Chains A and B, each alone.
Chain A
Amino acid sequence: MDLNLFFSQLLNGLSSGAIYASLALAIVLIFRTTGILNFAQGEMALFSTYVTWWLADQGLSIGLAIAISVAVSFVGGAVIERVVIRPFEKASPLVIVIATLGLFLALNSLTQVVFGTDAKQLGSAFPDTVWDVWGLRIEAQTIGILVVLGLECVALWVLFQRTRIGLALRAVADNPEASRLLGVRVGTMLMFGWGLSAALGSLAGAMVVPTTQALTASSLQSVLVFAFAAAALGGFDSPLGAVVAGLIVGIARALTIQYIEPLNNIELVVPFAIILVVLLVKPAGLFGSTQVERV
């Protein structure tokens, strides 16, 4: 076996997997704090990415455009929680799922109305340098995407484990009623969670567009499918699971393209087969916490 080729495909898989992981993290973050699967996560990221594009188109550097877009997305995510989701606070989870599906359609249409329907070009935040390490070609783009994912993980870990606001977020996720009685502002925390999640989506969008040459209204949809797959595989309540599973899905896809010729162009089958098997054996996902009921 050509090891170099194997590692090249591994890198390809890691770089797309890191993007799935970013969006999967966003999904998990909302699920953990609110118990909702946010189907609009991809389209929120889409809108954010268009904001990034617009800022860059106004002449801002890509890095600055992404930074501003992340901030705008944070605010936008919080507003969405307050305006679209909060009114259904007491409703059944299915109602909220429908609300997020509605949000999916609304944001997709809004993006097209505001920014137009033609494909946009968005440059990469990373240089197009390629390093040659013992014959293995490593792109700065790939490393950049992985570094961003690493930073996201560290920042989230610090936030949740080492800050008061993180403690409050975890408390709200665990038991909103008790948290409220203890004086935690549950509403604010929920808005904060959605904002954080939207900011992560914004980063994922800015990473994915340069790898597909163009930004269109459907740019984030396939990423969302992979991100959901990753979240299911890793366990919907586990950030670590989202990251590991995102990378697994990306790698499985790249290796399938390389090594399983009969599945050419239906390479999606492999990651989904893995997910099916894992969920059959371990329904909560690889890292998800199994919930126990006292009878």
Chain B
Amino acid sequence: MSNTRTRGQHRPIPFLTVLVTTIALVAASCSGGGRSSSSSPGSGSTSTKGGIVDASNCPGSETEGVSGTTIKLGTSLPQSGLYSAFTEILKGESAYFSYLNQELGGVEVDGKKYTIDLVAKDDAYQADRTVANVTALVNDDKVFALFNVVGTKNNLAIRDFVNRQCVPNLFAATGSPAWGDVKYPWVLGSELVPYPLEAKALFDYLEKNSPSAKVAILRASDDFGRAYSETFRSLIKGSKITIAKEETYNPEQSDTKSQVTSLAATNADVLLLGATLLACPDALQNVKASGWKPMTYMSGTCTSKTLMALAGDAADGVMSVTDIMEPGLAAWADEPAMKLYLDKIAKYAPDADAENGIVAYGWTTGALLAETLHRSPSLTRQAVMETARTLKASDVGLLMPGVTLSVSAKDWFLGEMFSLAQYRTALGHFELVGSVLDFSGHTAKITPPDLIGG
């Protein structure tokens, strides 16, 4: 044994220590998608007396973020990483605000016109970064309100903070049922269909067309995915529909192969896909490769032809829901709202694909915000939040004809009218199935209570 070799004998020990530490660190950072705790008292300073939103104990100025004729808003969303395709939301909403500011002279609130200045920060879909971004937006950028912050766990992570600070968190880009928790009046979900209602729409569809269906569930292992599976499980009680198997995937990786193989072996009639973004096409492709041919229902957050194009043939026939007009679908080509959208996206967001449903969602949410500000009797945080909480709106942005968004003191969910839609690969679009469904006021009733109140 040579000298060098003998010295080398001691090497593995520090190496292994470093290795184990590193693995532990990386593993810890990869599994950060757990359920955010909402057990803290949260809403010490706000209660619901008088109006829905009480601002009597709020810190800071009621008109923070409004200076001269500008309203400063903040958003946090993934612009990098695995979920960076959600950046398209920002392109859509920014295009709307450019159009509003430059062509309409801004939004009129209480007789005065204001332009909108949107500050966007990247959180890579990681909740801890969302917290840092939102803290900076509120404390340093001094925004008037938060707008369209993306992600269920991300919005859960900031809701105690925005509640304490009384910063409106308007139109959070998530359909989580958690936004129905009355302890948190300062957060309101967007026009996205609440996830429990998607489960309800699928349940109703199956009751009608396949009443003894065996359903397999593939979902993200976080609050987003839980909303689908738990609501669906609660809905099927007393029916002949059964759950064949449920598998979860790690939302940090969007690799679903082994999970799909496991579900395919059950040969269930239906696959419920509580997944988002790249996991959708990935699961669809894996289903196709497995030879399994279930009727697949996929989260409304995946209704983007861009995502479906990744899945190719495997996406044909997949069902979902939508409440906005899909750009490029012939049926909407003559709608004035659609013509305006296509025209302005070409002008203000030339690098965006106007036919991507994610861009259309951003545009529509931008229009919804402008409508809310316009209807507010005055430009204070409390007045705007109160207006949002009693909103009834149709013909906003690309909302489908016949869809009304409505919330009230008793109903905290906006996107309760929508249509089933089915993707056609040959067409490259989602075709609507049946007419607009009206579930106004139903979300809270059909959702297991623990999904709403933490």
Q: Which residues of A contact B (CB under 8 A)?
A: 2, 4-5, 8-9, 12-13, 15-16, 35, 37, 39, 93-94, 97, 112, 117-119, 121, 128, 130, 132, 137, 139, 174-178, 211-214, 216-218, 221-222, 224-225, 228-229, 232, 236, 253-254, 257-258, 264-266, 268, 272, 279, 283-284, 291-294
CA distance A139 to B289 in the complex (A): 7
The reply to whether the CB of B50 lies closer than 8 angstroms to some CB of chain A is no
Smallest beta-carbon distance A244→chain B, Å: 19
Pairwise interchain contact A112-B80, C-beta atoms closer than 8 A: yes
Pairwise interchain contact A12-B261, C-beta atoms closer than 8 A: yes
CA distance A118 to B83 in the complex (A): 8
Pairwise interchain contact B2-A175, C-beta atoms closer than 8 A: yes
Collect the chain A residues with CB atoms within 8 Å of residue B49's CB: none
**Chain B 59-92 against A: per-residue CB contact (8 Å), 1 yes, 0 no?**
0000000000000000000011111110100000
Pairwise interchain contact A2-B265, C-beta atoms closer than 8 A: yes
For B23, the closest partner residue in chain A by CB is A225
Collect the chain A residues with CB atoms within 8 Å of residue B425's CB: none
CA distance A293 to B320 in the complex (A): 66
Pairwise interchain contact A5-B1, C-beta atoms closer than 8 A: no
Collect the chain A residues with CB atoms within 8 Å of residue B259's CB: 257
Smallest beta-carbon distance A68→chain B, Å: 25
Smallest beta-carbon distance A89→chain B, Å: 14
Pairwise interchain contact B16-A232, C-beta atoms closer than 8 A: yes
**Can you offer 23 A-B residue contacts whose CB atoms are under 8 A?**
A4-B265, A5-B262, A8-B290, A9-B261, A16-B257, A35-B11, A37-B19, A93-B14, A97-B18, A112-B80, A118-B84, A118-B85, A119-B278, A121-B310, A128-B289, A132-B291, A174-B5, A213-B278, A216-B80, A224-B26, A236-B12, A264-B248, A265-B250
For B22, the closest partner residue in chain A by CB is A39
CA distance A217 to B252 in the complex (A): 12
CA distance A13 to B257 in the complex (A): 10
Pairwise interchain contact B6-A293, C-beta atoms closer than 8 A: yes
Smallest beta-carbon distance B77→chain A, Å: 12
Docked complex: B340-392 residues within 8 A CB-CB of A: none
CA distance A3 to B56 in the complex (A): 66
Q: Which 6 A-B pairs have the closest CB atoms?
A: A117-B80, A265-B221, A118-B84, A213-B278, A257-B258, A5-B265
Smallest beta-carbon distance B207→chain A, Å: 28
Given contacts A121-B310, A130-B291, A212-B255, contact A291 B8 (CB under 8 A): yes
Collect the chain A residues with CB atoms within 8 Å of residue B262's CB: 5, 9, 257-258
Collect the chain B residues with CB atoms within 8 Å of residue A35's CB: 8, 11
Pairwise interchain contact B1-A292, C-beta atoms closer than 8 A: yes
Pairwise interchain contact A213-B282, C-beta atoms closer than 8 A: yes
Chain B residues bordering chain A, tally (CB within 8 A): 54
Given contacts A119-B81, A137-B289, contact A214 B258 (CB under 8 A): no
Given contacts A97-B15, A139-B289, A291-B5, contact A265 B249 (CB under 8 A): yes
CA distance A257 to B221 in the complex (A): 13
The reply to whether the CB of B117 lies closer than 8 angstroms to some CB of chain A is no
Q: Which of B26, B79, B255, B291 contacts A118 (CB 8 A)?
A: B79
Smallest beta-carbon distance B291→chain A, Å: 5
Given contacts A8-B265, A228-B23, A268-B27, contact A216 B81 (CB under 8 A): yes
Pairwise interchain contact B248-A13, C-beta atoms closer than 8 A: no
CA distance A174 to B3 in the complex (A): 11
Smallest beta-carbon distance B184→chain A, Å: 27
CA distance A128 to B14 in the complex (A): 44
The reply to whether the CB of B196 lies closer than 8 angstroms to some CB of chain A is no
Given contacts A12-B257, A12-B261, A228-B19, contact A119 B249 (CB under 8 A): no
CA distance A199 to B211 in the complex (A): 55
The reply to whether the CB of B254 lies closer than 8 angstroms to some CB of chain A is yes
Pairwise interchain contact B254-A12, C-beta atoms closer than 8 A: no
CA distance A264 to B225 in the complex (A): 14
Pairwise interchain contact A293-B1, C-beta atoms closer than 8 A: yes
Collect the chain B residues with CB atoms within 8 Å of residue A258's CB: 258, 261-262
Collect the chain B residues with CB atoms within 8 Å of residue A177's CB: 4
Given contacts A8-B265, A176-B4, A228-B23, contact A213 B254 (CB under 8 A): yes
Collect the chain A residues with CB atoms within 8 Å of residue B81's CB: 117, 119, 216-218
Pairwise interchain contact A265-B248, C-beta atoms closer than 8 A: yes
CA distance A130 to B264 in the complex (A): 15
The reply to whether the CB of B189 lies closer than 8 angstroms to some CB of chain A is no
Smallest beta-carbon distance A10→chain B, Å: 10
CA distance A112 to B122 in the complex (A): 14
Collect the chain A residues with CB atoms within 8 Å of residue B282's CB: 212-213
Collect the chain A residues with CB atoms within 8 Å of residue B79's CB: 117-118
Pairwise interchain contact A225-B27, C-beta atoms closer than 8 A: yes
Smallest beta-carbon distance B39→chain A, Å: 22
Collect the chain B residues with CB atoms within 8 Å of residue A293's CB: 1, 6, 9
Smallest beta-carbon distance B243→chain A, Å: 13
CA distance A174 to B2 in the complex (A): 9
CA distance A222 to B289 in the complex (A): 24
Collect the chain A residues with CB atoms within 8 Å of residue B285's CB: 128
Pairwise interchain contact A217-B80, C-beta atoms closer than 8 A: yes
For B261, the closest partner residue in chain A by CB is A8
For A268, the closest partner residue in chain B by CB is B27
Collect the chain B residues with CB atoms within 8 Å of residue A213's CB: 254, 278-279, 281-282, 310
Pairwise interchain contact B8-A216, C-beta atoms closer than 8 A: no
For B246, the closest partner residue in chain A by CB is A264
Smallest beta-carbon distance A174→chain B, Å: 8
Pairwise interchain contact B261-A175, C-beta atoms closer than 8 A: no
CA distance A132 to B290 in the complex (A): 10
Pairwise interchain contact A119-B23, C-beta atoms closer than 8 A: no
For A117, the closest partner residue in chain B by CB is B80
CA distance A267 to B408 in the complex (A): 44
Collect the chain A residues with CB atoms within 8 Å of residue B15's CB: 37, 93, 97, 236
CA distance A254 to B221 in the complex (A): 17
For B30, the closest partner residue in chain A by CB is A222
